[in-house]
Structure 1
Amino acid sequence: MYARELHNYLYYKYGETCHPGDKTQEAFIALWENCKNVVYSKARAFLYKVANNNVLNDIKHHKVVLRYRSEKPADITREDPEFLMQKEQYFKKYQQTLGKLTEEQRVAFLLNKVEGKKHEEIAEILGVTRKVVEYRIYSAFAVLKEELENFRIK
């Protein structure tokens, strides 16, 4: 019931590099192992907390690994180099702009625009009021629109 929602939350908050599918599965394993200690009404919160902590632990580990090796991506493609350069530049600018948003704005914005969740659903997930969610989404949209050229969302 919560697997897809938890996966998407981790993906929006940390990105694909944190392996949200694996972290979701690990959270459910932890829930299974601690099912006697977790009250049913608190199961969702337990899953989110365990998954979030697992991701944070991996990020710390990844920082240590990066100190000792450098990554060299091997991207070979047959697309027009100019298009690839423009695409890469726009994507970097988009990522930087998302980075300028507060965590609350970014999570609410992505849950609404990418996942298609309604404001009430987001408010329930994040534990805030609907008005707070609306403010976060619209303020995030304003920042993105201001920073990025030709930024439009359906």
Structure 2
Amino acid sequence: MSDQNKSLCDEKHFNDFYLKQVQSATNFAFYKCGDKDNALDLVQDAFTKIWEHCATIDFDKVKTYLLTTVNNLFLNTIKHHKVVMAYAKETPNHDITNQNPEYLLEEEEFKIKLQNAIASLSDAQREVFLMNRIDGKKYREIAELLDISQKAVEKRMSAALKIIKEQIENI
């Protein structure tokens, strides 16, 4: 059967593709992140995305799609870690033994909701949000760096703030 007639939505074809590509994709992910467990997680997430979008992916380009997806998932992980590290760096070291346990629990829940909210942003929104809020760049600087208009930066930032507000509003 030629590749033209193959469909990733056919479970047999997807399984064949998975078995042929899982090792090379895992190696690629391992070279990126240097951690075997994280590499496996990235690859499994990438294959899940391929399965979810099987109808829209050209079978001839699926290997490229797989590696691109693994790379993008890795970059999203790095961005997430940067946010976590920046937050930890800005948070003053304080004696938590004197803190109310209920307050500490609420604070931890807030951190998790905030991290999840930032992770749920589109790549474009997350990029603008982090450049502004973490790197302290002005909208004009972001626009120049991303080669987009300042209005586009403002729109992305507005959408990002709206999503974050909706997701953490209950705290």
TM-score bracket, shorter-length normalisation: 0.3 to 0.5
Please identify which structure carries the higher helix content.
2
Q: TM-score, normalised by structure 1?
A: 0.48
* Structure possessing the higher radius of gyration over alpha carbons: 2
